Amino acid sequence: MRESPNSSQAQFAPQIEAKTDYALLLTLLMAMALPMLILYASGALAPLMLADEHINAELLGMFTLAAFGVAALLSAQAGRWVRKWGLRRSATALFLLTGVSFAALVLFEHWFGMLIAIAVCGVSQALANPVTNQAIALQVPPARKAFMVGVKQSGVQLSALAAGSVLSLAASLWGWRTAFAFVIPLCLLMAFLAAGRNWKPKVHAAPPPARGEANRAWLLYVMQMQASVGITLAAFITQVPAFASQSGMSARQAAFLITLFGLMGILSRLVLTPLASRLRHESDLLIVLYAIAAIALVVTFGAGTEHLWMIYAGVAGIGGTLVATNSVAMAMIIKYPGFGEVPVASGKVSMAFFGGIATGSLLFQGVVLLAGSLYAGVGLLLACLISCIWAAKRLRASVTKAGCTQ
């Protein structure tokens, strides 16, 4: 049966308080977690994968560029695909493509086949935000939308935790290919659940307001913020473990920093996304979060051998602030009609974020090499955060002028 992407114009009953739809919550969480798992797993299992004669450090480095590069290139179109195909087909395709990626990595031994497998997962990443945001827009009551955005965005950090714990244990016992193979049945199960779910708008959810053309300035401000956030997060998370080791941390302590980052990211998304929705201006919270993140950045790279606690504090600060800004941005897209159609706007913002992730580490390393100083790279990240504060202020002024505050 063909699903109508525009079926949200059907008649809605008066809004009532709805119970949490746990099946939808699981689907949204897995839609964000599984496409990202392949990359976190490649990092967490890197020592075991490098022992494989078919894989080297350069190939592992290409994995991130291949996945996020494809995701960035396709994200702008992914929103239109979701609108055209409908949620059932889009969500099912997302899980099936992820399963195919893991299966290909298990089976292929040639480096080119592995890169193709990672690139296919980039398609799933491109679909993730448009699918999940559209599902929230159509199936979740307004009072719970921000919370559901926070939950589903925390799936990204959940995948990092799973890669560093469950998959690492499985890989140490049976090898990395077997560990990857365990993910395939989960992808197939989620594809089955997505295909069988009723994706029609729920009667307890208020009808989405009519959305015309997107406010170009609003969208550009959010895209600028998310591109800068992507650059900062990618550079930070790749540089901090090495910096911590050079400062005197053991390998286990340095690895724990990633776990701390993931835990703080989950907590911040669950707490700060609903909080932002209750403020008169979400941009006010964004400005504060960017400022705190800048301080955390300085604290992290200002640590020395006698003050290792500063690295822990800085990592917790970045995870507790900057990670949440992505969820707040997605919640704003769902809330304000001025951003245009939800899947289309989500795709464009995801394109900016994935582009930042794909290039962040390379930009940081390039600046460090040119200037001959690590702190030149830190300066680049601070400039990104300052640009975020500027964009958030401009967005606040534009939203206020349009009379869209609550």
Written as one string, the DSSP assignment of 119-148 is HHHHHHHHHHHHHHHHHHHHHS-HHHHHHH
* Contact between 164 and 42 (Cβ < 8 Å): no
Percent of the chain with pLDDT over 90: 28
* Contact between 64 and 39 (Cβ < 8 Å): yes
Q: For residue 69, name the pLDDT band (cuts at 50, 70, 90).
A: confident
* Choices 1.10.287.130, 3.40.50.510, 3.30.1490.190, 1.20.1250.20: CATH for 20-196: 1.20.1250.20
pLDDT over threshold 60, residue 266: yes
> Which residues are CB-contacts of 5 (< 8 A; sequence separation ≥ 6)?
82, 83, 84, 85, 86, 87
CATH number of 216-401: 1.20.1250.20
> Which residues are CB-contacts of 9 (< 8 A; sequence separation ≥ 6)?
207
Q: Where are the CATH 1.20.1250.20 domain residues in the chain? A: 20-196, 216-401
Q: What are the helix (H) ranges across 45-141?
A: 46-50, 57-85, 87-107, 111-139
Tokens, residue 184: 């395939």
Cα 170 to Cα 399: distance, rounded to the nearest angstrom: 49
- Chain-centre distance of CA 395, in angstroms? 22
Cα 105 to Cα 377: distance, rounded to the nearest angstrom: 34
Cα 348 to Cα 342: distance, rounded to the nearest angstrom: 10
Residues 198-235 have pLDDT tens digits of 888 764 555 555 555 667 888 899 999 999 999 999 88
Q: For residue 263, name the pLDDT band (cuts at 50, 70, 90).
A: confident
pLDDT of residue 4: 45
Question: Cα separations (Å) of 286 from 222, 323, 391?
Answer: 11, 11, 10
Cα 30 to Cα 32: distance, rounded to the nearest angstrom: 5
166-170, 173-177, 372-376: least confidently modelled range: 166-170
pTM: 0.78
Cα 269 to Cα 25: distance, rounded to the nearest angstrom: 15
CA angle 227, 231, 232 (to 5 degrees): 115
